[in-house]
Amino acid sequence: MKFYQLTPKQRREILQSEGIKLEKIDDQVLARLDQLSENVIGQLRLPLGVVQNLQVNGHKYWVPMTVEEPSVVAAANHGTNIFAQNGGVQAVSKRDGIYGQIVLRVNDDFVLAELENAFPHLIALANQKFASLVKHGGGTREITAKQINKLVYLRVLVDPAEAMGANKTNSILEFLSTKLVELPGVAEKLFAILSNYSSQLTTAKVKLDPATLGGKRVAERIALLSKIGYEDPYRAVTNNKGIMNGADAVLLATGNDYRAIESATAVLASQTGQYRSLSKWTMEDGLLVGELTLPMAIGVVGGSIKAREDVQQSFAILGQVTSKQLAEIITGVALANNLAALLAISTVGIQAGHMKLQARNFVTELDANADEKKQVLAEMIARKDYSESYARKILQEIRKDK
104-125 pLDDT, tens digit each: 999 999 999 999 999 999 999 9
Torsion of Cα atoms, 121 then 123 then 126 then 130, to 10°: -130
Among candidate residues 304, 305, 328, the one with its CA nearest the CA of residue 316: 305
Output the pLDDT for position 248: 98
C-alpha count within 13 angstroms, C-beta hemisphere, residue 122: 27
Output the pLDDT for position 357: 57
Output the pLDDT for position 387: 72
Residue 69 catalytic? yes
Output the pLDDT for position 342: 96
Which CATH code for domain 48-88+200-347? 3.90.770.10
**Cβ 329 vs Cβ 54: under 8 Å:** yes
Residue 136 catalytic? no
Helix (H) or strand (E) holding 104: strand 98-106
Q: Tell me which of 78, 324, 354, 373 is the catalytic residue.
A: 354
CA distances from 223 to 216, 217, 288, 339 (A): 11, 10, 8, 10
Across 319-342, average pLDDT: 97
Residue 159 catalytic? no
Asked whether the predicted pLDDT for residue 304 surpasses 60, the reply is yes
Which CATH code for domain 98-194? 3.30.70.420
pLDDT in tens, 237-282: 999 999 999 999 999 999 999 999 999 999 999 999 999 999 999 9
**Cβ 100 vs Cβ 193: under 8 Å:** yes
**Cβ 200 vs Cβ 264: under 8 Å:** no
CA distances from 227 to 243, 250, 277, 289, 357 (A): 16, 27, 9, 13, 29
Across 375-393, average pLDDT: 74
pLDDT in tens, 175-189: 999 999 999 999 999
Sequence length of the chain is: 402
d(CA 241, CA 71) in angstroms, rounded, equals: 13
Output the pLDDT for position 356: 59
Name 395's Cβ contacts closer than 8 Å, sequence gap at least 6: 366, 368, 372, 376
**Cβ 253 vs Cβ 329: under 8 Å:** no
Q: Tell me which of 60, 150, 241, 306 is the catalytic residue.
A: 241
Poorest-pLDDT segment among 221-225, 286-290, 347-351, 358-362: 347-351
**Cβ 292 vs Cβ 334: under 8 Å:** yes
Q: What residue ranges do the domains of the chain occupy? A: 3-34, 48-88+200-347, 98-194, 354-401
Across 93-97, average pLDDT: 90
Classified as helix, coil or strand, 286 is coil
pLDDT in tens, 187-239: 999 999 999 998 899 999 999 999 999 999 999 999 999 999 999 999 999 99
CA distances from 126 to 132, 158, 389 (A): 11, 10, 64
Residue 371 catalytic? no
Which residues are paired to 139 by β-bridges? 159
Q: Looking at the whole model, is its pTM more than 0.75?
A: yes
Phi, psi of 103 (to 5 degrees): -120, 125
Among candidate residues 100, 79, 78, the one with its CA nearest the CA of residue 279: 79
Output the pLDDT for position 358: 62
**Cβ 244 vs Cβ 235: under 8 Å:** no
Asked whether the predicted pLDDT for residue 162 surpasses 70, the reply is yes
**Cβ 246 vs Cβ 287: under 8 Å:** no
Per-residue pLDDT band for 302 (boundaries 50, 70, 90) equals confident
Q: Tell me which of 232, 257, 291, 388 is the catalytic residue.
A: 257
CA distances from 354 to 76, 94, 307, 313, 360 (A): 13, 35, 35, 28, 11
Poorest-pLDDT segment among 62-71, 317-326, 332-341, 392-401: 392-401
Q: What number of helices (H) and strands (E) belong to the chain?
A: 15, 10
Output the pLDDT for position 350: 47
d(CA 211, CA 382) in angstroms, rounded, equals: 28
CA distances from 321 to 159, 186, 304, 344 (A): 18, 44, 17, 32
The residue that leads in pLDDT, 392 or 175, is 175
Helices 27-34 and 8-17: angle between axes, nearest 10 degrees: 110
Phi, psi of 176 (to 5 degrees): -65, -40
